[in-house]
Amino acid sequence: MDWHTWLASAGVTIPNSPDVESLVVAVVLVAGAVAIGWFAGHRAAPPVAVRLKRLGGRAAAFPETFVAAVIQYSVIALLLLIVGNSVALSPLALMLLAVALGIAVARLVHRIARAAGLGKSTATILALVALVATTAATLGGMQPLIHGLDEIGVTIGKHRITLLAVINAIVIVALLYVVAKAANHVLVHLIGRTSSLDLSQRALVQKLAGIGVVVVAVLLGIDLLGIDLTALTVFSGAAGLAIGFGLQKTFGNLIAGLILLMDRSIKPGDVIVVGDTFGSVGKIGVRAGSVVTRDGKEHLIPNEQLMTDAVENWSYSDRNVRIHIPVGVAYGCDLAKAQQLMVEAATGAARVLDTPKPSVWLKDFSDSSVDHDILVWIADPELGVGNVRSDILNRLWRLFADNDIELPFPQRDIHVRSMPPPPATG
């Protein structure tokens, strides 16, 4: 079968002598649509990119080049579609118009798929499917193509899997993935900009919105693909029971994370101590909470542990935290002067609050020193406490040196007893 016969069987009749006038009209129409699309893309892309950035929150997600390409190919495809349905063309000219329309739609699908994070091969496959489907639909040969794809398949039990069903499934899954990802990104950004909710409430609503988008996408996919779940009732029950036991900890951590965000006992930005881990909460995820220490190490602590174990929250109801700095001086020093210098060193530190004022407590009379506690308050515990201690102790060292205040050192008393002389030997 030559290509003339194949096209004729698809519903397209190719004349022996091409209609030159109709071909020229088709070329002019295609060129005009491309020019209008290029002009519209370059003029409309900057303001549209700005609005999409405000809606999506990231300039990298909607670059101006991507917006311009989407507008260009959309305008070209729309104009060619209108022309194809309103202008009488010869079969060969219509084929030229159909191929141009298919290329525009394929390029549009490829750019959107790549922007959605799909791989290059996946985006290329989707673009080829869009090219073939659009061209065939424009030429009126979609029904033979659909019939041919539906004839290719295998039968498994009572079900038949055709190439058409596989292509439909790929297209539907890809579209749902792109739409769900874009919807989740927009919802997260819009919820994050809501000033009426605090940080933990925004995180909770964002998490629930993400779960809702996934659930809706899955239900739509099941409905569009025509999957009959009644045949899988027994299997899904057994599988659900097995998955429930296997993912018990995972679901427990998920529920614990939602409870933590709902009761706001631990929220992003809090400074907490869990066991030997001290740091600020970066986020509370599906499985674990992220605690970033002052060393830059990020500890992933399961949500159940955050909810059941003892947790010190330094910023639960008040961000002000008091720091104890132990200092000892020698017994021979002027204690009043030493305590005054301790207060002066604490007051001069940058992060120490003026109210409540720094204070000094006499703690103990130890073997070698008179022990004191310098008590200071800070309002930013997420910046750490070690640097505050270091700043105060450095200031105190200089003040003690300038005022002859001695620091203690271990002292031991040695008692020497007089021994009787040894007996004389004859």
| Model confidence pLDDT, tens digit, residues 142-151 | 566 566 666 6
| CA distance linking residue 346 with residue 372, whole number of Å | 13
Confidence of residue 133 (pLDDT cuts 50, 70, 90): confident
Q: Which of 257, 293, 251 is nearest to 272 (CA)?
A: 293
Angle between helices 163-192 and 91-115 (to 10 degrees): 50
pLDDT at 159 (0 to 100): 66
Compute the radius of gyration of the chain from its Cα atoms: 38
Each residue's pLDDT tens digit, 50-73: 776 666 555 445 677 777 878 888
Are 203 and 284 within 8 A, CB to CB? yes
Quote the CA–CA distance of 242 and 238 in Å, as a whole number.
6
Of 101-105, 315-319, 371-375, 414-418, which range is least confident? Answer: 414-418
With contact defined as beta carbons under 8 Å apart, do 232 and 247 qualify? Answer: no
Answer yes or no: CATH 2.30.30.60 is held by domain 265-313.
Answer: yes
> Could you tell me the CA-to-CA distances from 403 to 40, 220, 265, 340, 413 in Å, in that order?
78, 79, 47, 11, 28
Give pLDDT tens digits for 15-29: 554 566 677 777 887
Name the CA dihedral angle for 204, 205, 211, 212, rounded to a multiple of 10 degrees: 160
Average pLDDT for the chain: 77
The predicted pLDDT at position 1 comes to: 46
pLDDT for residue 397 is more than 90: yes
Beta bridge partners of 161: 154
Highest mean pLDDT among 98-107, 268-277, 296-305, 393-402: 393-402
Q: What is the pTM of this model?
A: 0.46
283: which strand partners? 290
Q: Are strands 271-274 and 277-284 parallel, antiparallel or unpaired?
A: antiparallel
- CATH class, range 321-402: alpha beta
Q: b or e along 373-392 (b: 16 or more beta carbons within 10 Å of the residue's beta carbon)?
A: bbbbbbeebeebbeebbebb
Name the one residue in this structure whose structure tokens are 């194809």. Answer: 84
Q: Which two tokens stand for residue 366?
A: 């130890």
| Burial category of 163 from C-beta neighbours within 10 Å (exposed 0-12, middle 13-18, buried 19 and up) | middle
